[in-house]
Structure 1
């Protein structure tokens, strides 16, 4: 048996938003593989149940799924209360839920802009607020926000034309730094992962038209792979990152350089 040491999450509970599919599921599996029990929340609870069932079958961890729209405060409050009732303290929060809207800035409906902001920024704030309250009481916690390379550098319109998404992710990056400053005294670390292009439902359309161009411009000449994201999430969730907070880690093959 391999000694996990600094990366051992045995006895920890992780709440992963948007954990039913894509990058969220990848990160939930990574934490479960190293000992964490997993609470998954998703607007589509069926996907969340698939993740929870896989985690239990594959790794023998306790796992539950919850239906939650992270942009609705009442649903966030109820979900956090239910997770604490079912699992006890939440030690790790991964704010992964997100949405996007591809459109020229001059043509984007304001309703679309608001939807992206409400889910990406608003949901990250609400989950952090209500999970953070019990982390403050317990004086420990790891919060991992999922930003994006799109929030670090601007892309030309022919690669990514989603100004609301990019702006929301830049906001998440600063929210991460500000919250890390405010909550460090309580033993809470707040960091962010900024993925580059990975194959997912959200990136499917962009990659279908621009994958060769994106790979060609990437210093490592490839898209992201699940292992890369698993490593970053595990690092930030574990004791290995105990002296790291307020940082934005780009997992992008160097595309943000």
Structure 2
């Protein structure tokens, strides 16, 4: 129940995840280790994993970058030398975060207001980003929304709220930036933060599960189509990570956290810094081979084959 990375190295899928949760839960009673002591064997190492300067002279856009995982990823990328742009609806939150991270790392963090649900607002946001820093080298689609609700109580507006932020917002940001990057013949790394249940499904969070699954289909599709333009597309599916915003909505009583810890092989939740290190690696040049890939030569061959079939 750690993070899973969905991408491709060459033409082989690269998947990283923890040991099987079911196996651990079966053995848990016989080991004599409770989750509290078990976690002592797997303490989080939260220092930046990559060498200093790994992101020098690179620009990174992080949506939802003012809080939670977005803030953690911004702090790590800024520490590693990136000039970061954080975007969300709440400009005051963004500005506080930008000032705090800039003062810690010495690298400029820009705050840009953007409602990812609105394609016109996204276009204006990208205009502003181009004027501030130029088009980014790294794009992390992290903006999200979620809540717990029995599906029989879901209203159309509740469904629309989540899918607009998660699926449509990711699509609007990705397509707007992708088109401009292609026009400017500039490559970039795209990363989406989804969730483990995007693949498996999960009760009581159906809008989020559906929207995140859509994001994964979007990224897998564009990885094949836009690799020829120098674009990489990868996905991180985090397991349970304690962040104030998410846990206040999804686990207000703390019961979920207690039940999950007993099923996690390392005996603890993940930390935002651990996901930030993984995101930095996947977005860096150290992972330049990690993406869904169709080479220009492969595309020419596919295109020629498609043309031969027209009218048949």
TM-score (norm 2): 0.74
Query: Structure 1 residues 49, 6: CA separation in 2 closer, same or farther (over 3 Å shift)?
Result: closer
Q: How big is each residue's C-alpha offset from its partner over 1:86-123, in whole Å with a ceiling of 9 and x where there is no partner?
A: 11121111101111132111110011111111110000
Aligned to 1:169: 212
C-alpha change, 1:69 and 1:180, in structure 2 (3 Å) is same
1:203 corresponds to: 247
1:1-257 map, 5 Å = 8-136=54-182, 137-155=184-202, 157=203, 161-200=204-243, 201-207=245-251, 208-246=254-292
| Conserved 8 A contact 2:241-2:270 | yes
Which blocks of at least 5 consecutive residues in structure 2 are unaligned? Answer: 1-47, 294-312
Quote the Cα distance in structure 1 between the aligned partners of 2:271 and 2:199.
20
Does structure 2 retain, via aligned residues, the 8 Å contact 1:189–1:244?
yes
Q: For 1:47 and 1:5, how far apart are their aligned partners in 2?
A: 29
The 8 Å contact of residues 69 and 276 in structure 2, kept in 1 or not, is answered as no
Instruction: Report if aligned partners of 1:101, 1:112 keep a CA contact under 8 Å in 2.
Output: no
Q: Where does structure 1 lack aligned partners over 5 or more consecutive residues?
A: 248-257
Are the structure 2 counterparts of residues 61 and 138 from structure 1 closer, same or farther at C-alpha, using a change threshold of 3 Å? Answer: farther
| TM-score of the aligned structures, taking structure 1 as reference length | 0.89
Alpha carbons 2:159, 2:207 under 8 Å: kept: yes
Q: 1:216 to 1:4 in 2, by over 3 A?
A: closer
CA contact (8 A) 2:52 2:79 kept: no
Residues in 1 aligned to 2:51 and 2:272: alpha-carbon distance in whole angstroms: 22
How far did 1:188 drift? 0.6
| Residues 220/134 of structure 1: CA separation in 2 closer, same or farther (3 Å cut) | same
For the 8 Å contact 1:197–1:203, the answer to whether it is kept is: no
| RMSD across aligned positions (CA) | 1.9
Runs in 1 of length 4+ with deviation above 6 angstroms? none
Task: Provide the C-alpha distance between the structure 1 equivalents of 2:190 and 2:125, rounded to a whole number of angstroms.
Answer: 17
| Number of corresponding residues | 242
CA distance in 1: counterparts of 2:192 and 2:161, whole angstroms: 18
Cα drift, residue 5 of structure 1: 5.6
Higher relative contact order (CA 8 A, sep 6+): 2
